[in-house]
A and B are shown apart, each in its own frame.
Chain A
Amino acid sequence: MSLSNLIKNWSSLRVRRPYEGQYKGKDYKWAMVIDLDACTGCNACTTACYAENNLPVVGKESFAKGQAMHWIRIERYWGPGDHMTEEFPQRGAQFLPMLCQQCEAAPCEVVCPVGATHHTPDGLNSQVYNRCIGSRYCSANCPYKVRYFNWWQYPERAWPNPLELQLNPDVTVRSKGVMEKCTFCVQRLTEAKNRARTENRLVADGEVTTACAQACPTSAITFGNLANEKSTVAKMWQAHQIKLASDVQEKDDTVRGYRIFEDLRTYPSIVYLEQVRDLEA
């Protein structure tokens, strides 16, 4: 964004987001629902993300130092509290696909000294690689810990020939010193939007999806356009009584939807549906 542009659009850039009706009448607001009762923890989504988004395999040593680059990871928990109450996890495990929540009020954005991470008009938290100077403030400020830093020049080591032939030409291969994270497969969204625009229409529900949602064998992930009230994702948000711009949801007890760390007022774009267990079993 040029300085003149910045000054010209100052007022629109300074609005406090989100606000109610923010996306009303707008073309797109990308959002997701992840049904934790359908998620089996199988890791198909995470591998699909490696394939789609040119994620480097860092190797055992780097992984040990916490330098893994998995934009989406499956966390596994053995219980809600701080100790296990039973000898065995008798209700199974709790699996949590964790990826960038595309927060509407993203704590990562405000701390970036160079504006490398910012909000797009269609509601994504985007990362501009060639603007990033590697301060890593954003990562420190992300409550979900889903930002990944290029500690190494991965293009030199992660894809020995001919593995580099697999790289997706629609996605930048990141170099040392920049931050990266889940983009909601923005390259797919851009392609779909361009196609729709050429045809003078909007992207239809189900026309585009993320790599993780596409692979997921149980269809636990639903992706779509929240600005389109008729989209599946919008109907699910409604069914689960989640309002994008609220940080306290008024909803029935039986409704499963919730957003993680909502009380931090990050206004995430991902709604999770509670895991269900037959507690009489």
Chain B
Amino acid sequence: MSSRILDRRDFLRVLGIGGAAATLAGCGNTSIESGKELVMSYVQPEDFVVPGVGVYYASTCTQCGSGCGIMGRVREGRILKLEGNPQSLISAGKICGLGQAGVQVHYNPDRLRTPLMREGDTLKPVSWEKAQASLNSRLGPASTLAGNQIAFLTGEISGHQKVMVEALLESFGSDNHVVYDALSTVTGRAASKAVIGESLPVLKIDQARMILSFGNDFLGSGVSPVYMAAQYARFRKAPRGTLVQIEPRMTLTGANADRWYAIKPGTEGVFALGLAHALLAHESYAHSLPAELEAALKPYDKDTVSEVTGVHAEAIPHLAGMLWEKSPSLVLSGPSAEGHVRGFNNAAAIQLLNLILNNRGRSLLGSAVHPFPQLVSATGSYSALVKLNQDMSAGRVQTLLLVGTNPVFTAPTFLPFANNLSKVPFKVAFVTQLDETAHQCDLVLPLLSPLEDFGTHVASYQPSGVEVQIQQPLMEKLYPETRGFGDILLELVKLRRPEVYKAFPDYYSYLKTAVTKAKPVFKATTGDDEFWEDALRSGVLRLDLPAAALESKEGASVVQVDTPRVLDTDVHYPFFFVPSVRADLRDGRHANLPWLQESPDPLTTVVWDSWVDIHPKTANEMQIREGDILEVQSATGSMRAKAYLFPGIQPDTVSMPLGQGHTAYGRYADGMGVNPFKLFDPMFDEKTGELALYATRVIIKKTGENALVVKDEGPTSLQQNRKLVATIGADQAQLAKENAHVTE
């Protein structure tokens, strides 16, 4: 290989790659749709494409809403691997396993390659012309749809794709954009907003000397796990911060805690108030709350709290002592504390601790105000789906468009979503692969994969300043009959609003225009083309803005303090049931990716399956062994899975992972395990109306059958004195000295 070639590749690497080649590929790509320009094949050696040499292009990961900047390694026109983009503040050059598996969305053998149209009971492949004609006749200028008769159901969505969705709806006079998230975070956000002043405040994990987390899985399935992991790594350097986790079932974050406490599900608020009561005993913190609130906390003495929560009574003074000493601290609430009838109140009580400990302005900051509110991520909720379900049931929805969500799989049994969906005369799903919901639609449109498409994204969690993330194709599309989401929508709005949109031959040109228009906001002095190419090259537009101050009107006053009461026992359903959310499978949307199916669950090491976590002590009492097939029955539903003896769980609680149990999501997902979404009881947060995912009670029955639990763990879960993972006390380790030696 000549050094000239290598130099050039180096040059590309230094630049962060992208630029000319990417733009050309993009034009070529979209030109195929518009038929106006010369079609350029990506595999024709263009500038910068050297056979045998990988080049890197910047883009944005769309596997979750965190907006990590990524770099795709492309060789001979094929995308091979994704890495983190060092220029992205969020990913800082890192990437999670879920993000890595993005290439398997793209190359999935079960990708949908042509449009499908319903004929009686089946979906039949049709040409794009036919699909487009059907769309145009329903949604074109001649459409009789008016107002909210047309609805768009999406998952979390941001950037110009969101703008397009809303523009299309608006052209009908509709504002029926329904944003559904099966793992809704609305309750926690509402409590944070009320008490702290912002729903997703900036968490300065690296600044905290102690983190007390009530089920917040910030290292695993939480918001922006890659960014949080980097912060966590700094938190663990000298002076090393202490992490305490309290939750009914150990999360990945809990597994990294210095101290882990098991708590009865739903009693987190009581524990928090007990801790608040204890904290006020210190003179520096006394009177940090309104007098009536302070008085109301009287009954929350450690013994009462211990009786209610099942946590050792001494834990409370112990934690209070640590929190007094390690300041600033950071107190976090998470899904397992929030998913209850009193979930809002639990979260508010937890946030109250941040107020008492004066963490606001120190480890908790306000996020900057985004200059483009129309691009900001739309947060999904469960109540949005309930409302849509009512509208469908009453015949108010004539046309439903769906993208990025699979409610037939995730909606609970008592919400007859699938039934009501059939009452909508025209349902269109935009997917890269058929799933349970798309199967019930009338028209299914095959999308470009996220690695073939253009887009912009705004992460829901903005750790500092604001960013707009750019997504660009990393390769030419695999299938001629697939189209970009933005392109399909643009074609439709063009028919309805030609005066506004006819200037844009494709979504690419629309995006380029929209992004370059924002140039002044980013204080760029370059020309339009240069600005755009820079954006593509770096994959991100960023603006350093000061953090807003955190203030709340309501503050401590939203916290309701009732007399602490021991939870009723339910003779029919003696166990608490909590789901576990895997960082890779999430709500099940990633169960079609073989790398993730074969990637062991970090806590149990189980692969390709569902299981029931049960505490060894409870298992022993019930004479349950690993692999015994258990029937888990709630008032709503029942399902079978193998027992896995798991010590990180409260002994009156059993748990099952979400994400498995698909029936129509391709070869890697179908038939693997069961779907616990169908087990949930109709329990709702009394304040927000969100489904309480952690409030179901169940009974466990042995079926007498047993099967092998397929897992990576060997015959022992203990080290057997082999010094595999040695542990040293924090007071003994000399982290500062270690660090000095390496950086000197």
The chain A residues found within 8 Å of chain B, CB to CB, are: 36-38, 40-44, 46-48, 50-52, 57-60, 63-64, 68, 70, 73-84, 87-96, 160-163, 165-169, 194-195, 198-199, 211, 214-220, 232, 235-236, 238-240, 253-256, 258, 260-261, 272, 274-281
The reply to whether B232 and A218 contact each other, CB–CB distance below 8 Å, is: yes
A204 to chain B, nearest CB (A): 12
CA distance A215 to B729 in the complex (A): 28
CA distance A93 to B255 in the complex (A): 5
CA distance A209 to B516 in the complex (A): 36
Known contacts A68-B598, A93-B256, A199-B6; can you find 18 more A-B pairs with CB under 8 A?
A36-B725, A40-B256, A42-B220, A46-B97, A50-B595, A51-B595, A52-B81, A57-B598, A60-B609, A82-B720, A89-B647, A90-B260, A160-B667, A163-B107, A166-B79, A219-B233, A276-B236, A281-B258
Q: A77, A218, A260 — which one has the most chain B CB atoms within 10 A of its CB?
A: A218
CA distance A59 to B598 in the complex (A): 7
The reply to whether A47 and B101 contact each other, CB–CB distance below 8 Å, is: yes
B233 to chain A, nearest CB (A): 4
The reply to whether B84 and A215 contact each other, CB–CB distance below 8 Å, is: yes
- Mark B53-97 against chain A: 1 for CB-CB distance below 8 A, else 0: 000000000000000000000011011111110000000011111
- Mark B108-139 against chain A: 1 for CB-CB distance below 8 A, else 0: 11000000000000000000000000000000
Chain A interface helix/strand/loop/mixed: loop
B197 lies within 8 A of chain A by Cβ: no
Contact of A274 among B605, B722, B733 (CB under 8 A): B733
**Given A40-B252, A91-B727, A220-B233, CB of A163 within 8 Å of CB of B1:** no
B262 lies within 8 A of chain A by Cβ: yes
The reply to whether A235 and B595 contact each other, CB–CB distance below 8 Å, is: no
| Subset of 8 A-B contacts with CB under 8 Å | A40-B253, A76-B605, A78-B647, A80-B719, A217-B233, A218-B232, A235-B741, A254-B732
**Given A78-B647, A89-B648, CB of A96 within 8 Å of CB of B725:** yes
CA distance A47 to B10 in the complex (A): 26
The reply to whether A160 and B257 contact each other, CB–CB distance below 8 Å, is: no
A201 to chain B, nearest CB (A): 12
Q: Which residues of A are found within 8 Å of B720, using beta-carbon distances?
A: 81-82
> Which 7 residue pairs across A and B have the least CB separation, nearest first?
A217-B229, A94-B725, A47-B97, A239-B741, A218-B233, A60-B608, A281-B259
CA distance A261 to B725 in the complex (A): 11
B288 lies within 8 A of chain A by Cβ: no
B226 lies within 8 A of chain A by Cβ: yes
B717 lies within 8 A of chain A by Cβ: yes
**Given A59-B608, A277-B727, CB of A51 within 8 Å of CB of B240:** no
B502 lies within 8 A of chain A by Cβ: no
Q: Which residues of B are found within 8 Å of A81, using beta-carbon distances?
A: 718-721
Contact of B242 among A219, A220, A278 (CB under 8 A): A278
**Given A77-B718, A194-B1, CB of A166 within 8 Å of CB of B727:** no
The reply to whether B608 and A63 contact each other, CB–CB distance below 8 Å, is: yes
Q: Which residues of A are found within 8 Å of B478, using beta-carbon distances?
A: 162, 165
Interface residues of B in 236-265 (CB under 8 A from A): 236, 240, 242, 244-245, 250, 252-262
The reply to whether B100 and A239 contact each other, CB–CB distance below 8 Å, is: no
The reply to whether B81 and A168 contact each other, CB–CB distance below 8 Å, is: yes
Q: A36, A91, A215 — which one has the most chain B CB atoms within 10 A of its CB?
A: A215
Q: B108, B651, B720, B728 — which one has the most chain A CB atoms within 10 A of its CB?
A: B728
How many pairs of A and B residues are in contact by the CB < 8 Å rule? 298
- Mark B710-726 against chain A: 1 for CB-CB distance below 8 A, else 0: 10110011111111111
**Given A63-B710, A218-B232, A278-B258, CB of A44 within 8 Å of CB of B95:** yes
Q: Which residues of A are found within 8 Å of B741, using beta-carbon distances?
A: 235, 238-239
Number of interface residues of B (CB under 8 A): 103
The reply to whether B83 and A276 contact each other, CB–CB distance below 8 Å, is: no
Chain B's closest residue to A240 (CB) is: B738
- Mark B580-608 against chain A: 1 for CB-CB distance below 8 A, else 0: 00011000000000111111101101011
A253 to chain B, nearest CB (A): 7
Q: Which residues of B are found within 8 Å of A277, using beta-carbon distances?
A: 258, 727-730
Q: Which residues of B are found within 8 Å of A42, using beta-carbon distances?
A: 96-97, 219-220, 225, 229, 252, 583, 602
The reply to whether A235 and B602 contact each other, CB–CB distance below 8 Å, is: no
The reply to whether A88 and B647 contact each other, CB–CB distance below 8 Å, is: yes
The reply to whether B713 and A60 contact each other, CB–CB distance below 8 Å, is: no
Q: Which residues of A are found within 8 Å of B717, using beta-carbon distances?
A: 76-78
Q: Which residues of A are found within 8 Å of B728, using beta-carbon distances?
A: 254, 256, 274-277
B411 to chain A, nearest CB (A): 27
Contact of A84 among B83, B95, B647, B667 (CB under 8 A): B647
Q: Which residues of B are found within 8 Å of A44, using beta-carbon distances?
A: 94-97, 100
The reply to whether B242 and A169 contact each other, CB–CB distance below 8 Å, is: no
**Given A63-B607, A89-B647, A254-B732, CB of A198 within 8 Å of CB of B712:** no
Chain B's closest residue to A253 (CB) is: B732
Q: Which residues of A are found within 8 Å of B219, using beta-carbon distances?
A: 40, 42
CA distance A217 to B245 in the complex (A): 21
The reply to whether A84 and B718 contact each other, CB–CB distance below 8 Å, is: yes
A208 to chain B, nearest CB (A): 12
Q: Which residues of A are found within 8 Å of B295, using beta-carbon distances?
A: none
**Given A59-B608, A162-B478, CB of A280 within 8 Å of CB of B731:** yes
Contact of A91 among B108, B252, B260, B733 (CB under 8 A): B260
B708 lies within 8 A of chain A by Cβ: yes
Interface residues of B in 511-554 (CB under 8 A from A): none
Q: Which residues of B are found within 8 Å of A260, using beta-carbon distances?
A: 723-724
The reply to whether B258 and A92 contact each other, CB–CB distance below 8 Å, is: yes
CA distance A60 to B261 in the complex (A): 33
The reply to whether B672 and A60 contact each other, CB–CB distance below 8 Å, is: yes
CA distance A216 to B260 in the complex (A): 24
Contact of A76 among B240, B322, B602 (CB under 8 A): B602
Q: Which residues of B are found within 8 Å of A168, using beta-carbon distances?
A: 80-81
Chain B's closest residue to A84 (CB) is: B647
The reply to whether A166 and B256 contact each other, CB–CB distance below 8 Å, is: no
Q: Which residues of B are found within 8 Å of A281, using beta-carbon distances?
A: 242, 244, 258-259, 322
The reply to whether A219 and B230 contact each other, CB–CB distance below 8 Å, is: yes
B571 lies within 8 A of chain A by Cβ: no
Q: B609, B708, B717 — which one has the most chain A CB atoms within 10 A of its CB?
A: B717
Q: A41, A76, A81, A87 — which one has the most chain B CB atoms within 10 A of its CB?
A: A76
**Given A43-B584, A81-B718, CB of A163 within 8 Å of CB of B598:** no
The reply to whether B101 and A254 contact each other, CB–CB distance below 8 Å, is: no
Q: Which residues of B are found within 8 Å of A79, using beta-carbon distances?
A: 718-719
B290 to chain A, nearest CB (A): 31
Q: Which residues of A are found within 8 Å of B648, using beta-carbon distances?
A: 88-89, 93
B608 to chain A, nearest CB (A): 4
**Given A60-B672, A279-B729, A281-B259, CB of A46 within 8 Å of CB of B721:** no
Interface residues of B in 342-359 (CB under 8 A from A): none
The reply to whether A58 and B600 contact each other, CB–CB distance below 8 Å, is: no
